[in-house]
Amino acid sequence: MEMRAHTQAVWYGAPPKMFCAPKSVVAKSPKWNWAGPWCPQKGGWGYKKPFPNDTPLGPYFDYVNKGGSCRDYDPIKAGGWNFCGGKGCASCPAPVFNRTGRTDTEGCCWWGRGVIQTTGRCNFGKLNYYMGSRGAAENRTVLYPTLDFCKNPESICKPDSPAPLKWIAGFFYWLNDVQSYVDKDGWVYMEKLKNWTDAGMNLDDKSFINACSGIVNRGCYNPPCGGNAMDGGAARAANFAKVMKALKISANFGEDEDLEFYN
């Protein structure tokens, strides 16, 4: 499978769209050097025309393999590809599975998509089994019988896909991986939700939302699990508090603050 994503961040030096390709096409995985060369802007001397979103993957991968820069998206301000001394840049190791970091992108096309970012072959496989073409092939009634999420993970986000699918895929993940979470040490999501709710849904108590963030981000309620720390926990807790305040169901959210929030 060869694939290139449609969007990316736009801050200074932001990495380009994610891509995947077999080793026969991109033999060694590069790393984006955001502090790399400054990119001349359109109309300036040395400007390089970026690859359009619909560019064929062959020319783009050829550009990547040569360690290209300044042509990945428009407008790009800085950055380029390098190959970590020509050896290929390794991903993070997976100590739980006794695997070292990989230096290729083969079979890595199932990156996160949708509101909670359905990620990985296993999660896309579950989605396809319960909601997609795999279920239809087994004569089960499913929401999206014509969509094969395994063969085309972009089905979640394609412009011509059903608009609610981005959210439905997220709800599916939440129901199956978060809401049903039970840890071997006795930590149960539904019990902790009830405890936090019965205690008044105090937003100063971040233990529940941090546990949820850990489950979503690292697969455990108390990261680091497998040696991997949780990413973005503070931002997740802040977003959770913002939503709760907008819904006006937090016990420690007074009327004065309510008016100030909506003003």
User: DSSP for 224-261?
Assistant: -BTTB--SSHHHHHHHHHHHHHHHT--TT--HHHHHHH
Q: Do 79 and 141 share a domain, yes or no? A: no
Scored b (16 or more CB within 10 A) or e, 34-58 reads eebeebeeeeeeeeeebbeeeeebe
Mean pLDDT of 168-175: 92
Domain stops at, among 130, 155, 178: 178
Residues 47 and 74 in one domain: yes
Q: What's the confidence (pLDDT) of residue 227?
A: 74
What was the pLDDT predicted at 249? 63
- The reply to whether 128 and 100 lie within a common domain is no
Structural domain that includes position 162 = 120-178
Mean pLDDT to the nearest integer, 20-43: 93
Of 61, 85, 109, the residue at which a domain comes to its end is: 109
Taking residue 117's Cβ as centre, other Cβ atoms within 10 Å add up to 15
What angle (nearest 5°) sits at the alpha carbon of residue 35, between those of residues 29 and 39? 95
% of the chain at pLDDT higher than 70: 94
Residue 46 neighbours by CB under 8 Å, 6+ apart:
40
The pLDDT value recorded for residue 78 is 95
CA 62 to each of CA 1, 5, 36, 44, 67: distance values in angstroms, whole numbers, following the listed order: 16, 17, 19, 25, 9
Q: Which pLDDT band, with edges at 50, 70 and 90, does 250 fall under?
A: low
The residue count of the chain comes to: 263
CA–CA separation, 190 and 260 (whole Å) = 33
Q: How many domains does the chain have?
A: 3
Whether 184 is in a domain gets the answer: no
| Torsion sign across C-alpha atoms 245, 194, 220, 225 | positive
Q: 114 in a domain, yes or no?
A: no
The verdict on 75 and 156 lying in the same domain is no
Return d(Cα 165, Cα 180) in angstroms, integer: 21
- Other CB atoms within 10 A of residue 130 CB: 14
Task: Give the pLDDT mean for 205-224.
Answer: 92
pLDDT at 217: 86
121 has a pLDDT exceeding 50: yes
Mean pLDDT of the residues in the chain: 89
Residue 257 has pLDDT above 60, yes or no: no
DSSP string, 31-58: EEEEEEEEPPPTTSTT--PPPPTT--HH
Task: Say yes or no: 10 and 46 in one domain.
Answer: yes
Same domain, 9 and 67: yes
What pLDDT score does 252 carry?
A: 55
Q: Give residue 218's pLDDT.
A: 87
Residue 254, pLDDT above cutoff 90: no
How many of the other CB atoms lie within 10 Å of CB of 106? 17
Whether residue 95 is found in the same domain as residue 149: no
Are 171 and 204 found together in one domain?
A: no
**Does residue 139 carry a pLDDT above 70?**
yes
Question: What's the CA gap between 223 and 236, in Å, rounded?
Answer: 15
**171 belongs to a structural domain:** yes
What does the pLDDT read at residue 213? 93
Residue after which a domain boundary falls, among 133, 159, 178: 178
Distances (CA, A) of 107 to 19, 57, 101, 222: 10, 16, 14, 29
Q: Are residues 196 and 228 in the same domain?
A: yes
d(CA 75, CA 99): 38
Query: Is 183 among the domain residues?
Result: no
pLDDT band at residue 38 under the 50/70/90 scheme = very high
The verdict on residue 153 lying in a domain is yes
Asked if residue 258 has pLDDT above 60, the reply is no
Co-location of 151 and 214 in the same domain = no
**1 in the same domain as 103:** yes
* Cis peptide preceding 95, ω within 30 of 0: no
Kindly state whether residues 2 and 44 are assigned to the same domain.
yes
Average pLDDT of 189-215? 94
Coil, helix or strand at residue 93? coil
93 vs 40, residue with greater confidence: 40
